[in-house]
Amino acid sequence: MPIPFLLTALLTFLAWVLAAVLSQGISHAATNSSAVWLATGITFGALLVVKAAKRPAVLLGAVCATVVLGLRDGQTVAQALAFGANEALAAGLGAWLALRLRTVAPDAEADPGKAYAGLLLGALLSAAIGASVAAVLWSWTRPQALLAAEWRVWACTTFVGILLMAPLIISLAGFRIRRSGGMPMAQFLAGAATFVMFLVAAALIFSSDVSDRFGASLGPTLTYLPLPFLVVTAILWKERGATLATLAAALALIVWNNAGAGPFSEIEGFAGEAVIEVQGYVAVMALLVGVVNTLGARNEQALAQAQAWRLRYRQVLESNRTVMASFDARNGLAQWGEGADELLRTSTAALLTVQDWIAHAEQQDHPALQADWRDLTQGHRNHVLWKHALRWSDGKVASVIARLSGVRGADGQVEEVAALLEVEAPHGG
């Protein structure tokens, strides 16, 4: 096997084992149930970010890790291999669905909303398939097991684990160390401050008996108080920082809950109810951050597209020595496009209104220009063409060909006049 293939399998194996040991280490003390299974999230996320040729290596690493963990827990070789195959099947099918929804045409950009929807649907598919196959395997390996409870635990822990790990792996896949640029320090510190606020609020509510601290009537109602701080952190820290913060926050909440603290452990209708409730809480938290990250990614994508088109328009206009301007139809106030100073070779700060423009034209052109302006603003004409020279205070002269068009509002009245100026090379002086 080629070295890159083996390296991918080895890295997946090590990450999977580490995530599995961590998940088992934070299991509920009384029921021995885990609130999250991060290992399948490793498999799922890795399948989304590696190239197609390396996906079999990811599955191989995950299968080997599952088998080793099963043998350590006392399973036979056949049983361990069966659970390993289940890991590959469930994560593979879920990742396949997520990738199908992320796929775009070669000349198109990926839609962050569609990609996140694919991740959620893939996570649900992986959780459902894994839990269903596992229930069949449990009926073979442990006939006395409560299959309905085992199915629920497997499905919920897998789904939450994928929600936490897959976005983190996706965000880290594109990480590159930069010598300059990146997040401004002020933004980083602001995000750190809001994350500390989240931890403080979460600790006050989840790290001890919340009713003793805030009262039996008020305490349990404060459960969702920390979430706004995490959402603000996600907005400030963007996807990579937000996913790291969400994972750290989820692990802290699960550890506190499993230790018997917090509002979920305070009142349990049955053994293990707190585990189910904290799973729901962490899932809601991860979904909120995921939606915030998706909206942020869509906004950044739209901004990048707008900037790209803006650059293209400016390049086209400049290459034709053309500049855009707009004038308020009521008072003639001007707004000049980019590059106007360079093309006109004067400061447009001195051309505040259309009257300033006309004032720099030759004296004999003023009456005709004023008449054209009145016709445009009153709606008598839709377009006018000006061909004249502009004389600046330094003695230089620029010849322009300006096409002016009236822009009507909802009431049919002219609200704005748009102008496209083709500027000949200035001369004189």
Cα–Cα distances (Å) from 226 to 36, 231, 249, in that order, read 20, 9, 10
* Selection from 402, 313, 309 nearest residue 357 by Cα: 402
Alpha-carbon distance of 173 to 47, in angstroms, equals: 11
Domain count, the chain: 3
245, exposed or middle or buried, with CB in 10 Å at 0-12, 13-18, 19+?
A: buried
Q: Are residues 163 and 279 in the same domain?
A: no
pLDDT at residue 399 tops 50: yes
Give the amino acid at 54: K
What is the DSSP track for 67-107?
HHHHHHTT--HHHHHHHHHHHHHHHHHHHHHHHHHH---TT
For the entire predicted model, the pTM comes to: 0.79
Single out the residue in 150, 170, 190 at which a domain terminates: 170
Termini Cα distance of the chain:
75
Compute the average pLDDT of residues 6-16. Answer: 94
Compute the average pLDDT of residues 106-130. Answer: 88
Alpha-carbon distance of 196 to 396, in angstroms, equals: 61
Compute the average pLDDT of residues 293-311. Answer: 84
Tens of pLDDT along 69-108?
Answer: 999 988 899 999 999 999 999 999 999 999 998 876 566 6
Could you list the residue range(s) of the whole structural domain that residue 305 is in? 182-317
Q: Are residues 22 and 157 in the same domain?
A: yes
110 falls in which pLDDT band (50, 70, 90)? confident
Single out the residue in 170, 205, 233 at which a domain terminates: 170
Q: What is the pLDDT of residue 149?
A: 82
- How many C-beta atoms surround the C-beta of residue 148 within 10 A? 9
pLDDT at residue 425 tops 80: no
pLDDT at residue 309 tops 50: yes
Q: Are residues 19 and 161 in the same domain?
A: yes
Asked if the structure places residue 176 within a domain, the reply is no
Q: Are residues 305 and 343 in the same domain?
A: no
Q: What is the pLDDT of residue 86?
A: 95
Which CATH number does the domain housing residue 353 bear? Answer: 3.30.450.20
Asked if the structure places residue 175 within a domain, the reply is no
Tens of pLDDT along 25-42?
Answer: 887 655 556 789 999 999
Alpha-carbon distance of 407 to 210, in angstroms, equals: 62
Which DSSP category does 419 fall into? E
In the chain, the percentage of residues whose pLDDT exceeds 90 is 51
Q: What is the mean pLDDT of the chain?
A: 86
